[in-house]
Amino acid sequence: MRRALSALTALVSLAAVAACSPATPSTAPGPAPSTLKDAFAGRFLVGAALNESQFTEQDSRGVPIVKAQFNTVTPENILKWENVHPRHGEYAFDAPDRYVAFGERNGMFIVGHTLVWHQQTPRWVFFDASGSRVSRDTLLARLRDHIQTVVGRYKGRIKGWDVVNEAVDEDGSLRKSLWLEIIGPDYIEKAFQWANEADPQAELYYNDYSVENAPKRNGIVALVKNLQAKGIRVTAVGLQGHNRLDWPTLAQQDSTIGAFVALGVKVAITELDIDVLPRATRAQTADVSLSAAPSAGLNPYAAGLPDSVQQALAKRYADLFGVYMKHRDAITRVTFWGVTDGDSWLNGWPVRGRTSYPLLFDRAGKPKPAFDAVIRATERPAFVP
Ligand code: G3I
């Protein structure tokens, strides 16, 4: 009995040592972890953007995947201004409340997306009843009320906010949005200040797409430096990660993450997907206002994805995760923009009605070869430039 007990004690202490040691990626291919959140435990969180049928638990295919695979969630649409604050003085918190409750029930790190954006913001925010632009002071007051109300309601529950989304143009200058034109460039610092006041513990992010292109990245580096110089709290830069098979290069991805690490901020990959369909526009962009006419040539895989492309997608995901693994100390989370291929915004943008394959789970909810490639990323050497 005593021998059995001491063997048990030895086993328990071995397990405790193993649990405390930093995870060392094994080089011998053993059984792969079965979930994304387990595969990257101790490195970064892994998440997905949820639509309403997911956080209300109606999507019987998507929900089990979300619960099993992810430990952080982002709302794809319901916290955008037009949804949460559609009319002056009128907030719509039913859906966001259900989203936050879903995240809490499942013990997830809950993200808020997004407080300030040039898209999906109703006209009443910027214009008065006669159609004239409101004054700087009026718009500042509206912005402050919005941030205090929305962030305040979920204080301590939504753990990180995309405070400002897509405020920088492709050339690195500030986007000529109504926010900039009516308030001036300080709308960005005001938004961060008010978000900080409303929840001093929440992580605060600047979030954008195509940051890997040097002019835009340089503009965002300058913006973050400027905020830091003014003592404004910015926790992380969100790299949306709306990628293609051939963009960005791994070197671009690596140096972009490195540029923000050098500023002392964290990095989150916030909206990851990889578009395998032909380019419909020349620009490398995720600008939701773009649209292009449908044509058969732009929708080549309507009947299914050829194996060669499936494998190329898996390799591309593996390569990108190699870069994320290199920067695992700086990366807080990697969030996919959708759960299954059928959920992706890329089925409708910039061409309506395409059949897109950008994620790790297929339309039936089955893991794709890309899933296996990602889950094994910790076993491979990280990216070396
Ligand atoms: O809910 C309405 C529905 O009632 C209506 O019948 C239907 C008609 O078009 O529209 C539905 O709303 C759509 C909504 O997605 C939900 O499906 C909006 O029109 C459509 O504009 C909206 O698109 C979203 C887009 O942002 C604009 O907000 C996409 O789902 C969402 O994936 C996309 O996400 C953005 C990030 O927020 C920021 N970064 C880029 C990323 C991809 O564009």
Closest CA to 163 of 197, 122, 124, 212: 197
pLDDT for residue 12 is more than 80: no
Q: Average pLDDT in the 208-213 region? A: 98
pLDDT given at position 64: 98
pLDDT level of residue 28 (50, 70, 90 thresholds): low
pLDDT level of residue 24 (50, 70, 90 thresholds): very low
pLDDT level of residue 32 (50, 70, 90 thresholds): confident
pLDDT level of residue 5 (50, 70, 90 thresholds): very low
Q: Worst-scoring range by mean pLDDT, 9-18, 146-155, 165-174, 297-306? A: 9-18
**Active-site annotation holds for 212:** no
Cα of 77 vs centre of ligand 1, distance in Å, is 6
Percent of the chain at pLDDT > 70 equals: 92
pLDDT level of residue 6 (50, 70, 90 thresholds): very low
Say how far apart CA 192 and CA 202 lie, in whole Å.
11
Percent of the chain at pLDDT > 90 equals: 85
Say how far apart CA 129 and CA 32 lie, in whole Å.
60
Pocket test for ligand 1, best of 76, 115, 120 (most atoms within 8 A of CB): 76
pLDDT given at position 287: 87
Q: In the CATH scheme, what is the homologous superfamily, with its name and number, of domain 32-379?
A: Glycosidases (3.20.20.80)
Q: Looking at ligand 1, which residue's alpha carbon is closest to its atom 34?
A: 76
pLDDT for residue 105 is more than 90: yes
Pocket test for ligand 1, best of 288, 346, 347 (most atoms within 8 A of CB): 288
**Active-site annotation holds for 90:** no
pLDDT level of residue 289 (50, 70, 90 thresholds): confident
Ligand 1 pocket member 240 (CB < 6 A): yes
Phi-psi region of 14 (alpha: psi -120 to 50; beta: other; left: phi over 0): alpha
Cα of 80 vs centre of ligand 1, distance in Å, is 10
Averaged confidence pLDDT in the chain: 92
**Nearest atom, ligand 1, residue 165 CA:** 38
pTM above 0.75, yes or no: yes
Cα of 148 vs centre of ligand 1, distance in Å, is 24
Closest CA to 183 of 121, 235, 233: 121
Q: How many CA atoms lie within 13 A of 365 on its CB side?
A: 10
pLDDT for residue 230 is more than 50: yes
Say how far apart CA 133 and CA 105 lie, in whole Å.
43
222 Cβ neighbours under 8 A, 6+ residues apart: 172
Say how far apart CA 44 and CA 293 lie, in whole Å.
39
Q: Which residues are bridge partners to 187 per DSSP?
A: none
Query: For the chain, what are the domain ranges?
Result: 32-379
Ligand 1 pocket member 288 (CB < 6 A): yes
Q: Which residues are bridge partners to 205 per DSSP?
A: 162, 236
pLDDT for residue 333 is more than 90: yes
Say how far apart CA 377 and CA 338 lie, in whole Å.
20
